[in-house]
Chains A and B, each alone.
Chain A
Amino acid sequence: LQTLAGIKRASILAVACFCVAGCTGPQSAFTDAGDASQVISRLFYWMVGGAVVIWLIVVGGAVYAVRSQRTYDLVATRRIIIGGGAIFPTVVLAGLLSYGLALMPRLQSPAPEGSLTVQVDGVRWWWRVRSLDPDAHAIGDTVIKPSSVGGIDLANEIVLPVNEPVEFKLSSEDVIHAFWIPALGGKIDMIPGRHTRLKLLPLKTGSYRGVCAEYCGEAHTQMAFTVRVVSREEFDRWINGQREPVQAAVIEAHPGWQVFRTRGCGACHTLRGTIANGVVGPDLTHVGSRGSIGAGWLENDVENFKRWLMKIKSIKPGVEMPQFDSLTEVELQQLAEFLEGLQ
């Protein structure tokens, strides 16, 4: 049974090394790119340390009790029960609760007035993202229509300026989803009929990945999004670009536009500045500029657009978008290039 304790000890050590070495990644809570995730990681390391010590003491005690041939009297054992079973956990847990719950205001307080506000709605199985300007936010809580001046409709990508708190307003259009960017902080559910909120404070520039954490049906797995944390200047550049509609003249010269139009893509998708104004699917005005296609699932390039159009039902099972496998090779190429060109 000592071997048992040895194995556990070694495995915990291995885990600790492994984490320091290789647990960071675009979707990892260990990446610590946000204030919340840093705070929570620190809490986690303290708890792991304490847990290892407690585990060794208790299991060590149990193993000793089994192997020991000495007999103990009842008074000593009573002390063990009261001390180990009641007093020790009460003290430790009280300390842990004070530390842990004291973090709550920092994690939960709303972002200061005038901060960037992003509204995200979960839709089976993608994200309707609406960046609201701080000015628009300051106007009050009036609902801002997708096409109105204050906000612009985006999808499946979130770009944030570094070192600035951001307030997320979250809801769902159908089932319950959950909004989670592990590298920046914790998650919160998106519930139809309810409004939830989340504040994040990104501290490191870089590309990260967010996911839906609440099981939401067939393509739950493929409900992700890209997150980019950039400098303020780059953010301004980006958002100004996103605000622009599609240049009609440029568009109508492109053969892919004809395919887009005649195939009825506009019934579900919007291209701002054109007659395509559907709202069932994601806005595609700048789809070519996004970090991914298919809600964080495929890299954004012409080949993947072609795969997406032809094989959507196997790439992302359950989606409502029809599979356009009746497109000719030429049409497909034209449409894919057209979409990729929507920068």
Chain B
Amino acid sequence: VSDDNLDVQPLDEAPPLELRQAQERRLQAAWARPRGWRYWSDVNNSVIGVWYTTTAFAFFLFGGILALLIRVQLAVPGNTFLTADLYNQVFTLHGSVMMFLFAVPILEAISILLLPAMMGARDLPFPRLSAYGYWCFLIGGVFICGSIFFNAAPKGGWFMYPPMTTQYQPGIGADIWLLGLSFIEIASIAAAVELIVGTLKCRPPGMRLNLIPLYGWYILVVAVMILFAFPPLIAGDVLLEMERAFDWPFFDASRGGDPLLWQHLFWIFGHPEVYIVFLPSIALIAMIVPTFARVPMVGYGWIVLAAVGTGFISFGLWVHHMFTTGLPGISLGIFSAASEAVAIPTGIQIFCFIATLLVGRVRNSVCMMFVLGGLATFIIGGLTGVMIALVPFDFQAHDSYFIVGHLHYVLIGGTIFPITAGIYYFYPFVTGHLLSERLGKWAFWLMLIGFNVSFFPMHITGLMGMPRRVYTYQSGLGFESLNMISTLGAFALSLGFLVILFDLFRPRKYQEIAPRNPWGAGTLEWLTGMPPLQAWGVRCIPEIDSRYPLWDQPNFVRDVDEGRFYLPDAEEVLRETVVTSVIDAKPIQCLRVGKPTFLPMLAAIFTGGVFILGTYHWWLASAVSGVVAIGVILVWLWTGTAQIPEKSHKDIGLGSVLPIYISGPASVGWWAMFITMLGDITAFVSLVFGYFFYWTIHEDFPPVGAPGPGWVFPAIALACALLGWGATIAARSLNRKDSVIGFYLSVALALAGSIAAASLLVYAPHSNGMDPTHHVYPAIVWVLVGWTAIHIAVGCLMLAYCAARRMAGRMTSEYDADITNVTLYWHFAVFTFTVTVLVIAGFPLVA
């Protein structure tokens, strides 16, 4: 990589006015938003970001109302406002909605909304994937929230510990939780893929890794965390739902299962989840603080390292949610120390903010008030976190109201206050109007005081012995006044939110009109004109050589506005953006992104059908919905991805001529497949973890004398799978050599080998009469076999798709992204197959 493109300068002179106007007309035509009912077919990330954010806030309000119901019920002892059963539904839904329908989606929503602008990109690489994720989120969220109006909501707590949630909770509540949230987790992972690939590949030319806005770094860290944290939960969901639906005894101690496996899987997800929620909010602070301090962030490198470090450490803390499960002292000590250690990177980030504020002269505003209030609140949560990370104190505090206090200080201080600051900061970016500073101050003080009045007493209530998740309490234990104070505070806090809501939704004509770049920020998203968010996004894609180009690069705004940088035009009236290389952001492709279509929405509806119909155990309807969903997705891929362009290269200006179509590791599609499969492998590894977890808790596992899958059939199956894999690789290279017959023969051989492999693998446990309802050993073997067989089936579908593409002339020796990405899938699939065989057939030989 040479340094030559670092010297790229904008055009010396602006293009003539008529040309600029013609360019803008073409851009407008390419990016025009569909009108009327077709508006909902739009797939632009900026538009979906607004829908996503609004929907997530609607769920937040719903969760808040549930919280108020809880506080009303607990205001006085012996209250009968809610029954025990309804209360249990309410608190379960409150936790689940806030975590799964607000905290995680809001960060993805805000990122989808902001990232393209922060990266100076027209769009992220997979707008249709974002649309699919959004519709999944909306459908799943409404399904879960709606359940409480039918008295059918889940009531196992947001942590759903079995065996309470297996044989002791008939009804569909727990299934709604398991299937509904698995469905939403798909949306979360889809967004994570979009955000990772977007951050890595859609940066403006010149924005090397060390110039990425801090928000981008945080989102990259968080999206990677989602990729590794959500799959263990999905694996757990699969096991728990298999036990509920088909009586496979993964968590039933009487048949060899163990309830603690769920807790491990849940908290391997659940603890990183806290940082998944917290880091993006800190990311907002990292954008706001330099703007109001009017200096670049001090300690950029420290912050990036701290964010990455937090991400890593957060995966090694989960056991601190299980300190009271009777684990050995040595484990408790190690996890206690690791939990304390995470305070250090957090401390570094906070001190970087303080240092930046010291260096600059701070302009005060409601934004800064929320930032500081959030910091002050969050630090209390952090300090109580240090307390409960210490095992002896946790023995008392665990599962008491002390924890309720602690976690709300962390989440409201660390998330809600920064997000509110973000709302004030980015409102003009979205609407072109400013929110009222006067109302903002009212909202701030109401929220800050209300919050502390509500949640500070809970620390005391907890240590006075009030356990969590009780629907009422008796008088005489000293809980009465503390609970009443908490309830009053909760209403003051809600009043604060109401003030903000009023400000947000009052008629625009009463809101102050924002000037362009109203806060004088230095980052790319503030290039946006007022009124903001022209459908095309940024006027042209700039060359960057600073973290704060609006501050540091001379005439930057003018040069962008006049189209003096890359891609100022849309000659073919297609939606285009520039893809750059991962490390040094050299432009490598002019990417065409998807146009509006209802296909993602349809795909989401039918994917939702699989889960929602499955909740009611209508398996046939669920399967039909699944087939339709696959069909819709195939149409979407067929018509929307890897389109052969009318010319191989395109001049994007400033001497850059870029290919329009690329395949392999440089392309966004390859990255998306790679990242998705990392998540997929993580889920699979979680299932394998389950197998060995049972091995550690049982003296004989596999049980002596119990039928196993044997090793003969699995070994032959593995040989077939390896053959199929080899044939797939051959198909890729034969296609590249334009050997058509060889390609089709290889695909046929790959299909034959893999179908034989999957059949033999399934036949092995079946032939030996392994009954998955009998004991956990056959059950976990069957899960691994089933998981692997499904992956082989999907791989076969992909191979057939490639053959069809070649037949239809949509894939050629030159334009071969389909088979390249499918081969990548097969690398992972064959790894899954090999590990499965080694575990189920090989391990019993040595155990």
CA of A69 to CA of B364 in the docked complex: distance in angstroms? 12
Chain B residues whose CB sits within 8 angstroms of the CB of A275 once the complex forms: none
Q: A221: CB under 8 A from chain B? A: yes
Chain A residues whose CB sits within 8 angstroms of the CB of B169 once the complex forms: 217
Min CB distance B559 to A, Å, is 30
Min CB distance A174 to B, Å, is 7
Report yes or no: B302 in contact with A188, Cβ–Cβ below 8 A. Answer: no
Q: B384: CB under 8 A from chain A? A: yes
Q: A182: CB under 8 A from chain B? A: yes
Q: B467: CB under 8 A from chain A? A: yes
Q: Name which of B388-396, B619-627, B717-725 contacts chain A.
A: B388-396
Within 8 A of A (CB), among B335-378: 336-337, 340-341, 343-344, 347-362, 364, 368-369, 372-373, 375-376
- Most B CB atoms within 10 A — which of A58, A66, A90, A219? A66
Known: A27-B464, A85-B344. A218 touches B85 (CB 8 A): yes
Report yes or no: A317 in contact with B85, Cβ–Cβ below 8 A. Answer: yes
* Chain B contacts to A: CB under 8 angstroms: 83-85, 88, 157, 161, 163-164, 168-169, 253-254, 257-260, 298-299, 302, 306, 324-326, 329, 332-333, 336-337, 340-341, 343-344, 347-362, 364, 368-369, 372-373, 375-376, 379-380, 383-384, 386-387, 390-396, 398-400, 448-449, 452, 456, 459-460, 463-474, 477-478
Chain A residues whose CB sits within 8 angstroms of the CB of B299 once the complex forms: 77-78, 81
CA of A309 to CA of B368 in the docked complex: distance in angstroms? 60
Taken residue by residue from 241 to 265, chain A's Cβ proximity to chain B (1 for < 8 Å, 0 otherwise) reads as 0000000000000000000000000
Q: What are the 3 tightest A-B residue pairs by CB atom distance, in nearest-first order? A: A193-B253, A186-B395, A27-B465
Known: A101-B333, A189-B326, A194-B253. A176 touches B164 (CB 8 A): yes
CA of A181 to CA of B84 in the docked complex: distance in angstroms? 23
Q: A136: CB under 8 A from chain B? A: no
Say which residue of A80, A100, A318 sits within 8 Å of B392 (CB atoms): A100
- Closest residue on chain B to residue A215 by CB atoms: B469
> 7 interchain pairs (CB within 8 A)?
A28-B463, A39-B392, A47-B390, A51-B383, A71-B360, A74-B359, A192-B253
Q: A239: CB under 8 A from chain B? A: no
Say which residue of A96, A196, A213 sits within 8 Å of B399 (CB atoms): A213
Report yes or no: A29 in contact with B333, Cβ–Cβ below 8 A. Answer: no
Report yes or no: B354 in contact with A65, Cβ–Cβ below 8 A. Answer: yes
Report yes or no: B393 in contact with A47, Cβ–Cβ below 8 A. Answer: yes
Chain B residues whose CB sits within 8 angstroms of the CB of A51 once the complex forms: 380, 383-384, 386-387
Min CB distance A195 to B, Å, is 8
- Closest residue on chain A to residue B337 by CB atoms: A97
CA of A108 to CA of B330 in the docked complex: distance in angstroms? 11
- Closest residue on chain A to residue B257 by CB atoms: A193
* Majority-rule SS of B interface residues: helix
Taken residue by residue from 207 to 237, chain A's Cβ proximity to chain B (1 for < 8 Å, 0 otherwise) reads as 0010111111111110000000000000000
CA of A182 to CA of B225 in the docked complex: distance in angstroms? 37
Report yes or no: B392 in contact with A96, Cβ–Cβ below 8 A. Answer: no
Q: A84: CB under 8 A from chain B? A: yes
Min CB distance A242 to B, Å, is 26
Chain A residues whose CB sits within 8 angstroms of the CB of B469 once the complex forms: 215, 220
Report yes or no: B347 in contact with A85, Cβ–Cβ below 8 A. Answer: yes
Min CB distance A144 to B, Å, is 21
Chain B residues whose CB sits within 8 angstroms of the CB of A185 once the complex forms: 395-396
Chain A residues whose CB sits within 8 angstroms of the CB of B452 once the complex forms: 7-8, 11
Q: A103: CB under 8 A from chain B? A: yes
- Closest residue on chain A to residue B85 by CB atoms: A218
Within 8 A of B (CB), among A44-58: 44, 47, 51, 54-55, 58
CA of A163 to CA of B336 in the docked complex: distance in angstroms? 30
Report yes or no: A28 in contact with B473, Cβ–Cβ below 8 A. Answer: no
Bin the interface of chain A by size: 35 or more
Known: A193-B254, A196-B325. A43 touches B340 (CB 8 A): no
CA of A307 to CA of B256 in the docked complex: distance in angstroms? 42
Chain A residues whose CB sits within 8 angstroms of the CB of B254 once the complex forms: 193
Chain B residues whose CB sits within 8 angstroms of the CB of A18 once the complex forms: 460
Min CB distance B66 to A, Å, is 16
* Chain A contacts to B: CB under 8 angstroms: 1, 4-5, 7-8, 11, 15, 18-19, 22-23, 25-30, 36-37, 39-40, 43-44, 47, 51, 54-55, 58-59, 61-63, 65-69, 71-74, 76-78, 80-81, 84-86, 88-90, 93, 96-97, 100-101, 103-105, 107-108, 124, 174-176, 178, 180, 182-183, 185-189, 191-197, 209, 211-221, 297, 317-318
Min CB distance B15 to A, Å, is 41
Report yes or no: B375 in contact with A62, Cβ–Cβ below 8 A. Answer: yes
Report yes or no: B326 in contact with A191, Cβ–Cβ below 8 A. Answer: yes
Chain A residues whose CB sits within 8 angstroms of the CB of B352 once the complex forms: 81, 85
- Closest residue on chain A to residue B392 by CB atoms: A103
- Closest residue on chain A to residue B341 by CB atoms: A93
Report yes or no: A221 in contact with B470, Cβ–Cβ below 8 A. Answer: yes
Chain B residues whose CB sits within 8 angstroms of the CB of A182 once the complex forms: 396, 400, 463-465
Report yes or no: A215 in contact with B157, Cβ–Cβ below 8 A. Answer: yes
Chain B residues whose CB sits within 8 angstroms of the CB of A103 once the complex forms: 392
Min CB distance A191 to B, Å, is 6
Chain B residues whose CB sits within 8 angstroms of the CB of A211 once the complex forms: 465, 467
Report yes or no: A72 in contact with B168, Cβ–Cβ below 8 A. Answer: no
- Closest residue on chain B to residue A52 by CB atoms: B383
CA of A4 to CA of B260 in the docked complex: distance in angstroms? 44
Known: A11-B452, A74-B298, A216-B164. A62 touches B390 (CB 8 A): no
Say which residue of A22, A77, A180, A196 sits within 8 Å of B359 (CB atoms): A77
Chain A residues whose CB sits within 8 angstroms of the CB of B163 once the complex forms: 174-176, 192
CA of A74 to CA of B360 in the docked complex: distance in angstroms? 11
Chain B residues whose CB sits within 8 angstroms of the CB of A77 once the complex forms: 298-299, 355-356, 358-359
Besides A59-B375, A80-B355, 13 more A-B contacts (Cβ < 8 Å) are: A27-B465, A29-B396, A73-B359, A78-B299, A101-B390, A107-B392, A180-B467, A183-B465, A187-B399, A188-B326, A213-B468, A216-B164, A317-B85
Chain B residues whose CB sits within 8 angstroms of the CB of A101 once the complex forms: 333, 336-337, 390-391
Chain A residues whose CB sits within 8 angstroms of the CB of B375 once the complex forms: 59, 62
- Closest residue on chain B to residue A316 by CB atoms: B84
- Closest residue on chain B to residue A104 by CB atoms: B329
Say which residue of A85, A196, A221 sits within 8 Å of B350 (CB atoms): A85
CA of A107 to CA of B376 in the docked complex: distance in angstroms? 34
Say which residue of B362, B398, B467 sits within 8 Å of A66 (CB atoms): B362
Known: A61-B354, A62-B376, A93-B343. A23 touches B360 (CB 8 A): no
- Closest residue on chain B to residue A3 by CB atoms: B445
Chain A residues whose CB sits within 8 angstroms of the CB of B390 once the complex forms: 43, 47, 96-97, 100-101
Min CB distance A1 to B, Å, is 6
- Closest residue on chain B to residue A25 by CB atoms: B478
CA of A156 to CA of B468 in the docked complex: distance in angstroms? 20
Chain B residues whose CB sits within 8 angstroms of the CB of A220 once the complex forms: 467, 469-470
Min CB distance B409 to A, Å, is 11
CA of A191 to CA of B253 in the docked complex: distance in angstroms? 9
Chain A residues whose CB sits within 8 angstroms of the CB of B253 once the complex forms: 191-194
Report yes or no: A86 in contact with B478, Cβ–Cβ below 8 A. Answer: no
CA of A101 to CA of B467 in the docked complex: distance in angstroms? 25
Say which residue of B88, B306, B379, B464 sits within 8 Å of A28 (CB atoms): B464
